[in-house]
Homo-oligomer: A and B are copies of this chain.
Amino acid sequence: MKFMDVHHGMSGITAEQLRAAHAADAAVEAEEGVHFEQAWADPDSGTVYCLSEAPSREAVQRVHRRTGHPADEIHPVPLSV
């Protein structure tokens, strides 16, 4: 199932920091059965969105916790267009 998770409080995040966070997630995601497909960041509001394919909300959060950036919201998004 696909999930969209949201991180707040990331004001000023740089392209390099986004890449590093994504790379950290990518390094451990397989152990949780998760794949982070895309991520987008708004440095002004400090919001980061991550789209993943994962077995559960909890699995998404386990990856983000292991890499030091737990999500503030995790929504299953079974519908897409």
Contact = CB atoms under 8 A, between A and B. Distances in A.
A43 B38 CA distance: 21
Contacts of A44: 76
A12 to B, nearest CB: 11
A18 B49 CA distance: 20
A80 B39 CA distance: 5
A66 interface: no
A15 interface: yes
A60 interface: no
A41 interface: yes
A4 B49 contact: yes
A63 interface: no
